Amino acid sequence: MQLRTRLLTPLAALAALLCATSSGAQVATFDTTHSLFHEAPTRSNMTVYTPSTDLEVTPWEFLSLRAGWEADVVSGASVAVKAGPTYQTVHPGADVVTTASVHDLRNSARGGFTLRKDIVSFTGGYNYSTENDYRSNSFNVAARTEPLQHDTQLEAAYAHNFDDVCNRVQTAGNPATLSRALEDSTGCFTSSATRTKDAISVDSLQGSWSQAWTPTFVMQLVYNVSVTDGFQSDPYRSVIISEGVEAQEHVPNDRTRQSVTLKTNFYLRPLRAALRISLRGYDDTWGIVSETGELELEKYFGEAFRLLARGRVYNQTGAVFWSDDYTGGNAPLGPKGQYWSGDRELSPFWSWLGGVRGIYTVTPAHGRLLGIMSRLKVGASFDLQNFYYSQFTLGGTPVTNTFAYFGGLELSAIF
């Protein structure tokens, strides 16, 4: 699994907690989702199947308890050695770009609670996940209040991760230019003399203000900041740097991210549809600046079925130390500094996404479904995403028109 996915985990859990809604006493909700992701850019491919289940019970109106499980089943091939065009020119026919087979299984267990009193609620949770080369522990807390006849909602949340990533034991005293990449995950988190672990900590703070201005117009403003400290390189990836040296990817240990998001929701009564517009700005201490615009239209067909169509455009600059070629004028101690990376997600690129989602809800007019359920909801979704990298190349070939496919199924039952 790529490191950027792991670092987003606490924020994703935090967002799920912030979206939790109150329910009446003695209510149980069971949710299960299944998603499939596939991407096949130049020289690599990745398929990820993600099943998850969650159960929430509310034994009393002031208390809800949650427990859940999620997994990632990963298979594919990733770029193991990245070389720039200069090396390919100096060594014609020497295609050093290699790929490594990837097979991994991440298991994650989570639990949490929500306490309510009048217009105030407090949420807490814990998550533990394991995979072949990564261990993660995280906790999160959030507080919410809804003053002014519930037309206003104020939230504050905090999450902390303390993780470990497997790495190869490097020779003591050697500079980063002589570090060697991890061959595979064999021996990770054991007493193996060839394996060690590096720590990563992530602190995330989020604040939001939601306001219902009219019965048909709602707005939300969200600010998020996170600070990451620890080993953030891909331990399996090597980069060809000055004089043809093959060195393990090396990026800064510290990274601070911040973003501001504005969301609006308009209900179009004549159309029985909701129009949602989202704008997000982001920057970090690695020099990446990005903008995201998203548009959703959700149409209601009667009381049972609704269909959503959405589109998103994303654009970012590259990290200050990014270069597609560290063997020419951008040597490790040259204008790019002492860092090097083969991660295309740190290069300048833009992407677009389009997708649809359908949800059907069954609510019996009398009694319960199968004698136990008061409501049953099923849904399906599909998204197509395209990436265009303006600088990233593999073997001297630009990587353009890279597509990723997302499919999902969900089921939610209220008892």
Over residues 25-42, the pLDDT tens digits come to 568 999 999 999 999 877
CB atoms closer than 10 angstroms to residue 130: 14
Average pLDDT in the 162-170 region?
A: 95
d(CA 280, CA 147): 26
320 residue type, one letter: V
Q: Of 30, 109, 21, whose CA–CA distance to 64 is shortest?
A: 21
57/61 Cα distance (integer angstroms): 10
Q: Express each pLDDT in 256-294 by its tens digit.
A: 999 999 999 999 999 999 999 999 999 999 999 999 999
From 191-195, 238-242, 340-344, the region with the lowest mean pLDDT: 238-242
Query: Mean pLDDT throughout 4-10?
Result: 39
For range 198-216, the mean pLDDT: 96
CA atoms within 13 A on the CB side of 285: 12
**Are residues 340 and 332 in contact, defined by beta-carbon separation less than 8 angstroms?**
yes
pLDDT attached to residue 96: 57
Contact 253, 232 (CB under 8 A): yes
Question: By the 8 A CB rule, do 330 and 309 touch?
Answer: no
Give me 124's structure tokens.
Answer: 């807490």
- pLDDT (0 to 100) of residue 80: 83
Q: Is the pLDDT of residue 333 over 80?
A: no
Residue 123 pLDDT = 98
Instruction: Name the token pair of 36.
Output: 């499939």
Which carries the bigger pLDDT value, residue 358 or residue 43?
A: 358
pLDDT for the residue numbered 89: 66
Q: Is the pLDDT of residue 376 over 90?
A: yes
Count CA atoms closer than 13 A to 216's CA, side-chain side.
Answer: 10
More confident residue, 15 or 141: 141
**3-class DSSP assignment, residue 9:** helix
CATH class, range 3-414: mainly beta
In 3-state terms, what secondary structure has residue 8? helix
Reported residue count of the chain is 415
Quick: pLDDT tens for 78-133: 888 888 777 666 665 545 566 667 788 999 999 999 999 999 999 999 999 999 99
| 22, pLDDT greater than 50 | no
Tell me if 248 sits within 8 A of 237, measured CB to CB. Answer: yes
Give the single-character DSSP code of 11. H
Tell me phi and psi for residue 85, to 5 degrees.
-60, -35
pLDDT band (50, 70, 90) for residue 373:
confident
DSSP code string of 249-312: -B--SEEEEEEEEEEEEEEEGGGTEEEEEEEEEEEETTS-EEEEEEEEEEEEETTTEEEEEEEE
How far are the Cα atoms of 129, 266, 290 from residue 6, in angstroms, in the given order? 10, 34, 20
pLDDT at 261: 98
Q: How many CA atoms lie within 13 A of 104 on its CB side?
A: 27
* Least confident segment among 104-108, 138-142, 200-204: 104-108
| pLDDT for position 244 | 80
Query: Using alpha carbons only, what angle is made at residue 286 by residues 284 and 288, rounded to the nearest 5 degrees?
Result: 60
Hey, how many other C-beta atoms are within 10 angstroms of the C-beta on 370? 9
The chain-wide mean pLDDT, for the chain, equals: 88
Compute CA distances 7 → 137, 189, 213, 403, whole Å.
12, 20, 35, 23
CA distance linking residue 401 with residue 352, whole number of Å? 11
Q: What pLDDT score does 95 carry?
A: 52
Question: Where is pLDDT greater, at 370 or 59?
Answer: 59
Closest among 165, 161, 156, 166 to 203, alpha carbons compared: 161
- Half-sphere exposure (Cβ direction) of 394: Cα atoms closer than 13 Å: 18
- Residue 215, both tokens: 């019965």
335: pLDDT strictly greater than 50: no
> According to the model, what pLDDT value does residue 137 have?
97
Of the segments 242-251, 312-321, 390-399, which one has the largest average pLDDT value?
Answer: 312-321
For position 330, what pLDDT does the model report?
46
Q: Taking phi first (over 0 means left), then psi (-120 to 50 degrees means alpha), and beta for anything else, what does residue 76 get?
A: left
Q: What percent of the chain has pLDDT over 70?
A: 88
pLDDT (0 to 100) of residue 148: 80
**pLDDT of the residue at 25:** 59
**What phi and psi values does residue 334 have, to the nearest 5 degrees?**
-90, -150
Alpha helices in 32-139 (DSSP H): 85-90
Q: Rounded CA gap, 202 and 229, in Å? A: 7
Task: Report domain extents, the chain.
Answer: 3-414
Q: 333 vs 249, which has greater pLDDT?
A: 249
Q: What percent of the chain has pLDDT over 90?
A: 68
